[in-house]
Structure 1
Amino acid sequence: MPTALESKHTSVGLTLALTLALAVGLSLAPVPEALRPIPSLARGPVGPQLWALVSTSSAGSTRKAVGVEPDGDPHSPEVPDLPEEEEPEEPLAEVQEPDAGTGSPDVPSAPVATTDTLGLADLGPATRASALRMEALREKMGARHVDLDLGCRRMGPSGCEENGLAPFFDALRALREGRRTAPVRVEHLGDSLIASDHITDVVRERLQERHGSGGKGFLYVDRPTRSGRGVRAGQASPGWEFTRVIDRAPPRDRLPFTGVAFAAGVNSSQDVRFSVEDARGAEIFFLAQPGGGSLQVLVDGKPLQRVQTRWTPAEVASARVKLPEGARTLTLKTRGKVELHGVSLENGQPGVVYDTLGLPGAYAGVFLRAHPPYFRAQMRQRKPALVVLMFGGNEAFRLSREWTKPEEIREEAQQLVKRVRESVPDAACLVWSPIDAAVRTLGGELVPRRGSRAVAEIFHEVAREGGCAYWDALDAMGGEGSSIPWLSAGMLNADLIHPRAKGSNLLGHLFDLAIQRAWAANAPPRVALVDPAGLQNVDKALNATFTRLLALEKGEGSRLGILQMGASHTASHYFTDALRGALTKRFGDAGRGFIAAGRASERLAPAGVSRELTGDWTVEDALQNPAPGQAWGLSGVRAVGAPGAEWSIRFCEGCPSAVTPAARLSLYWLDGPGAGRMDVKVDGAPLPPEPPPPEPFTTPTVRIRSFPVSGPAHLLSVSNAGGGPITVLGAAMDLEQRGVTYDAVGLPGATAATVAGMEPQALAAQLSSRKPQLLVFWYGTNESGLGNLDGPTLRADYGALISRLKQDAGGAECLVLGTTDRQQQRADGTWEDTPGLATVVTVLPEVARDQGCAYWSARAAMGGERGMLRWRKDGKGHADGTHLTPEGYQQLAGQLLTDVLAAYESFKAQPPALASEGR
């Protein structure tokens, strides 16, 4: 008697034999094509097709899944998980690419206009060459460039005010301009056409090459059907159980927006490993549930942290993990009951992240099976700029079998679009049409499948109604019937439905270029706000300054006094210290110059200066007390001390004592009604009191007292001996020798209007005392932050201020510095020009020209538009988008010095008669 095992084998063999016989009989019988188990039996060898049928029938026994293999829905097509051929790209022998000429032999030199029209200009050589081969294939196959119908997401009184892809294009533009720090994410939901990341891989590669890569993006734990390419999944242990929206009766109260839940039971520990070479962070998506277990997170096999998944009530959750630099693998190990949905890997850089979420057998109604709260929560967690809905093939299949009706297809598509729009209202959405497919008639003839065009029209209407863009992939493929030549060319699988790798690549190519054409037409680059680069208006504007420099360089002449007024860029001293150091090294040092009163500041230390306030002092400035007509120091600051308070300033601390030229130490203060009595000391020795004025002061008046000293290193102390408060404005150290003095008087937050509001006589007295031959004005940065800045007013007021201060300084020459680039951050993390930047950039060169001043744009020196964001990236710009780092200020000063000295050398090269005009 046969054994039980032999009986079982005999039973299986008989079953297979009967199955094959029935399959052959039905396939040769005069029945509709749809009912033939082997549709193409009449046109090819029987053996391989029978083997495929047997192997497909037995494949399900090796899978451990909750539910039935796709598609379990009795009214859904049986879509096999076809092997995804990896076809090497080869040049088409019959296609002659354009002559490369003298260019790179790897990249055909297509006409520039054609390349720009296609959208290939921003691609690298290898990708561009591949795209050109795709273009040759497109022409050979009769495929077409089909433009997107952008739709309208917001209507207004004048018509459409925002097209369906506007949020996506805005995000891409922000990336290109450096204003966006967060990645631009795309969620591409679809069916078997993208389940193995064909089509989407081409689009992802090109978008990331054009706009930067944000990383791999979302990855499944395992391939949802454990077949096809695994490039969008981890390497999972075999014991994971998964539930999918494509299953026959999935639980409608627990599935995530990705369509698949991967579960590890209480009594089994599962793991999954991901390659993370290019990632800096991972986000783990899971179900937090009653009785949930934990996840051990390991990097390169070493424990990093543990994630707990226990929570009541059940809800979707995520955990972020920072990956150490140089990490290669991320492993997740379960303990207890754990349900994972996937992992997102990103590199922390602004760029494109393109998620592929494709399930064989899916259609719009299938993704509606995802639990709505979970769908909404996880979609919002991804923060996509674009959601692509790519269905239609299975709808057309069902419609051709009369398993559904157009009304049902429309309703499901409408509901899915609605769910997406409600979940992420700020994201753009785009709907695909189905592609073409074919069937074989009883006579063996290939004909287009019914239903594809009808579904395409339905989806087009749904996209238009939902404010989404639409792409007609059916037309792009070549229209109805195009699948037949695709099959002959080896670009379609034998099932007459699914493109092979080369066909998928062509579809990805066509979709990518449709996006690029729309981007070029509807999101053109913003017109750049351009500053003049280099030193402008220099002819005659700096003749007197250059004449003094020339005399100093020859060992003749005396002092060149430069006084720079400005805001925080000047007040920081980094910029002016760099300029002072370079100029005094070449032309001689005439002293540190003026230092404003104030508290101790480490920023004075590089120049060997220190300040100290002891006792009861109040440091006031012209921004805190904006009442017009008040007397202030040159920097807009004054220090008010009560009786007993003392202020001291030390110059040239640590300077060599052997250097002892004659020098002058000056004190600036306010005298007036009710002022206290000052005691002044130099190097600890008291000085005789200042003689009283001939008549008592009736208003606060600037007083200046100079003391002859020897050498640059001295301590000046001022104390209040009683009788009322004293007000100190600053002090100066000047050496009686040839050289340059560079005064820096800046008030953080100040504008030109701040200076214009100060009491003019007080400013005039101090400027006259300092005797600058060159005034440098650096305002505009704070003006650029004003939303209501009026250009004509700025031009008139700033010009009047410069004119007055030049006169107060005894006819000094002037140099106007334009603003640095300034950016402000939006709520979404992107960056944009401050509201008044364009006005400042436009007006300041006009002000300089009107006043006969030279002009130099700091913004142009930073590279112009978005320069601040580039400097921030290089560690030269501050995180606030306004200021620079010390290294940034030093570099900017170096650039100004280079331009000034270049103009000076040109001045020296002039004939003597011209060079002497400014003397």
Structure 2
Amino acid sequence: MSPNPLLNMTPLAGLTLPVFKLQQRALLPLLAALLLAGCLQPPAVEDAPQVEPPPAPAVRGQLTDFGDPALAALAARLRSGGQVTHIVQLGDSHTAADFFTGSLRESLQEHYGDAGPGWLPPAWIRGQRSATLKPDGADGKQWLLTSSRLQEHDNFPLGGFVLESQGEGSRIGLQPYAADTGSYRWRALYQSGQPASIRVNGETVVWPASARWQWSEPVATQLPLELVTQDARPFALGGWMLDRDAPGVLLSSLGINGATGSMAWRWGDGWLDSLAALEPRLLILAYGTNEAFNDDLERDSYYAALSGQLAALRAALPQTVLLLAGAPDAIRYRQEEGCNARRPRPLAMVQAVQRQVAREQQTLYWDWQAMMGGRCSFERWQDDNLAQPDGVHLTRAGYEASARALYRDLQALLQEQD
């Protein structure tokens, strides 16, 4: 019988122990540890709270919803069909021409009902146009007109214009482009150190004294409209509001040639209160072109300004959907080789900041440049008679095509709201 190798003897300090006993003793601590680990259960650890990722933004065409909290309420209001929904657009020359806003107004009112023209400047302004009514020109002997685009004033109102009466009998009015027998409600944004007595289409109206800009009480009227002062003491007009006192959409276009997004924040302190009093349900901000033509514009300062402006608007207008329209494509350096070299150098930065701030502030964002066909699309629009030779402005057809695209995208987004 062959010897068992486990019984071989190994000398150790004068002792002879079987090898298997030495191996057993070496394994005992390990076995004990394994048995102990099997018997003891680690203390229960509560599951860490699951952090829900933010929902993916809804995108319809070139319109992105980054989570605007007022969007569902806007959709419900429009769907109800029994209320007035006021939409306001603040912007630069793309807005001031009222081709873009005029086409958007027409589409929305055709679908939801015509509640009236909305806001108009207090007098005819060079470079401004209204698609609905024509304000009279201000006679320099009867009125003093001041514009925030070029002049200084200690208290510009919403809209950026001040029209000051120069004595009794000063006349100003609104003219329809075609015969209009409809009934309207008319209000004025005014400021007066004493009660102001005026005649509106022959009816005497007295406005209470107001050191701040405020909206007058509505007056039933028809077009054309004529206002005549009955007091030698001066007062100031900042704009008109005209509505039909009926359900539907109002779209007020407040644009100034050459404006940047910071212009409104140089108006008087009360302009946001005047805007809030109009109860807009959608506020479109259409700036960026003039910023993009400023080679000294710094990204950080532009980002900080735009972020602060949107935060202030959200605080003042909590029930209003905010829509930031990205700057459209443009051409500046026409002699350069290649389209990218011909674009305004800050344009891409301006557009990127606009999108970033819209995402961070949870607003809607409409990519106007993408709607045009993307970067360097302006020249193709020129070839198609949709853009003007100046490299900045679109033609009437171009603005109307843009407005129709925004309308389609907005409708698609609204229809998906609960």
User: Given that residues 679 and 689 in structure 1 are in contact (C-alpha distance below 8 angstroms), is that contact kept between their aligned partners in structure 2?
Assistant: yes
The corresponding residue for 1:570 is 95
Query: Per-residue displacement from partner, 1:612-656 (whole Å, max 9, x unpaired)?
Result: 3224233322232367xx322322222234235734232655355
Higher relative contact order (CA 8 A, sep 6+): 2
Unaligned segments of structure 1, at least 5 residues:
1-531, 908-914
Structure 1 residues 810 and 649, CA gap change in structure 2 (3 angstroms): farther
Alignment check: 8 A CA contact 2:96 2:128 kept: no
Paired amino acid for 2:85: L
Q: Which of 171, 191, 212 is 1:670 aligned to?
A: 191
SS at match of 1:581: helix
Report the CA distance shift for 1:651/1:736 in structure 2 as closer, same or farther (over 3 A). Answer: farther
How far 1:897 sits from its partner (Å)?
0.8
Q: Secondary structure at the match of 2:207?
A: coil
Alpha-carbon distance in 1 for matches of 2:200, 2:242: 12
1:861 maps to what in 2? 371
Which of the residues 622, 628, 634 maps onto 2:148?
622
Distance (whole Å) between structure 2 residues aligned to residue 707 and residue 837 of structure 1? 43
Structure number, greater radius of gyration: 1
Q: How does 1:23-422 map to 2 (within 5 A)?
A: none
Q: Which amino acid aligns with 2:258?
A: G
The answer (yes or no) to whether the contact 1:821–1:867 under 8 Å persists in 2 is yes
CA gap of 1:566–1:606, structure 2 versus 1, over 3 A, is closer
- Whether the 8 Å CA contact 1:568–1:749 is kept in 2: the answer is yes
Question: Quick check: 1:563–1:743 contact (8 Å CA) kept in 2?
Answer: yes
Identity, % of aligned positions: 24
Equivalents in 1 of 2:161, 2:130: separation in Å?
Answer: 20
Match of 1:537 in 2: 65
Q: 1:750 to 1:540 in 2, by over 3 A?
A: closer
Residue type at the aligned position of 1:537: D
The one-character-per-residue Cα deviations of 1:102-155 (angstroms, maximum 9, x if unpaired) are xxxxxxxxxxxxxxxxxxxxxxxxxxxxxxxxxxxxxxxxxxxxxxxxxxxxxx
Partner of 2:217: 706
Q: Residue 905 in 1 paired to residue 410 in 2?
A: no
Would you say the 8 A contact 2:198–2:231 is kept in 1? no
RMSD (CA atoms): 2.7
Distance 1:796 1:645, change over 3 A: farther
Given the two structures, how large is their TM-score scaled by the length of structure 2?
A: 0.77
Once the two structures are superposed, residues 9-40 of structure 1 have per-residue CA deviations (whole angstroms, 9 ceiling, x without a partner) of xxxxxxxxxxxxxxxxxxxxxxxxxxxxxxxx
Asked if 1:687 is matched to 2:198, the reply is no
How many residues align? The count is 356
Per-residue CA distance 1:396-417 (angstroms, 9 max, x = gap)? xxxxxxxxxxxxxxxxxxxxxx
- Contact 1:651–1:733 at 8 Å: present in 2 too? no
The alignment status of 1:654 with 2:175, answered yes or no, reads no
* 1:451-495 Cα distance to aligned partner (Å, 9 max, x none): xxxxxxxxxxxxxxxxxxxxxxxxxxxxxxxxxxxxxxxxxxxxx
2:331 aligned with 1:816, yes or no? Answer: no
Deviations 1:207-227 (A, max 9, x none): xxxxxxxxxxxxxxxxxxxxx
Equivalent positions of 1:347-746 (< 5 A) are 534-537=62-65, 539-541=67-69, 542-552=71-81, 557-599=82-124, 604=129, 606-616=131-141, 617-625=143-151, 630-643=154-167, 646-650=170-174, 652=176, 654-657=178-181, 659-660=182-183, 663-672=184-193, 678-683=196-201, 685-692=202-209, 697=211, 701-709=212-220, 713-719=223-229, 721-723=231-233, 725-746=234-255
Conservation of the 8 A alpha-carbon contact between 1:578 and 1:893: yes
The aligned counterpart of 1:458 is: none
Q: Distance in 1 between matches of 2:149 and 2:275?
A: 21
Alignment correspondent of 1:884: 394
1:736 Cα deviation from its structure 2 partner: 1.7
Does the Cα contact within 8 Å between 1:614 and 1:645 map onto a contact in 2? no
Q: 1:758 to 1:656 in 2, by over 3 A?
A: closer
Given residue 691 of structure 1, which amino acid in structure 2 is its aligned partner? P
Shift of 1:780: 0.7
Partner of 1:837: 347
**1:595/1:608 CA distance change after superposition, 3 Å:** closer
Per-residue deviation, 1:764: 2.1
Q: Secondary structure at the match of 1:612?
A: coil
Shift of residue 873, structure 1, vs aligned partner: 1.6
Tell me the CA shift for residue 561 of structure 1: 0.8
SS at match of 1:706: coil
How many angstroms apart in 2 are the aligned matches of 1:720 and 1:851? 48
In structure 2, runs of 5+ residues without a counterpart are: 1-59
Tell me the distance in 1 between the aligned counterparts of 2:315 and 2:390. 37
Report the Cα distance in structure 2 between the residues aligned to 1:850 and 1:720, rounded to whole angstroms.
Answer: 51
Counterparts of 2:373 and 2:169, CA distance in 1: 48
What residue identity is the alignment partner of 1:573? Answer: D
How far apart are 1:601 and its partner, in Å?
6.7
Shift of 1:549: 1.4
- Secondary structure class of the residue paired with 2:74: helix
- 1:621 is matched by which residue type in structure 2? S
Distance 1:829 1:622 in 2: 38
Instruction: Give the C-alpha shift of residue 756 in structure 1.
Output: 1.8
CA shift, 1:539, in A, is 4.8
Q: Which residue of 2 aligns with 1:747?
A: 256
Alignment deviations for residues 512-556 of structure 1 (CA, whole Å, 9 cap, x no partner): xxxxxxxxxxxxxxxxxxxx961112655522221111112xxxx
Which residue in 2 is equivalent to 1:778? Answer: 286
Deviation at 1:774, TM superposition (A): 1.1
Does the C-alpha gap of structure 1 residues 793 and 605 become closer, same or farther in structure 2, counting only changes over 3 Å?
closer
Deviation digits for residues 307-333 of structure 1, max 9, x if unmatched? xxxxxxxxxxxxxxxxxxxxxxxxxxx
Q: Could you tell me which residue of structure 2 aligns to residue 162 of structure 1?
A: none
Residues in 1 aligned to 2:226 and 2:388: alpha-carbon distance in whole angstroms: 35
Q: Which residue of 2 aligns with 1:414?
A: none
| Counterpart residue type for residue 704 of structure 1 | W
What SS does structure 2 have at the residue aligned with 1:613?
Answer: coil
Closer, same or farther: CA 787–757 of 1 in aligned 2, 3 Å: same
Label 1:773 to 1:606 Cα distance change in 2 as closer, same or farther (>3 A): closer
Three-state SS of the structure 2 residue aligned to 1:792 is helix
Query: What amino acid is the match of 2:298?
Result: D
How far is 1:728 from its partner?
Answer: 1.6
Contact 2:124–2:137, Cα closer than 8 Å, also in 1: yes
Aligned-partner Cα distance in 2 for 1:792–1:736: 45
**Correspondence 1:756-771 to 2 at 5 A:** 756-760=265-269, 762-771=270-279
Q: What residue identity is the alignment partner of 2:240?
A: A
Number of the residue aligned with 1:871: 381
Q: TM-score, normalised by structure 1?
A: 0.37
For 1:806, the equivalent position in structure 2 comes to 314
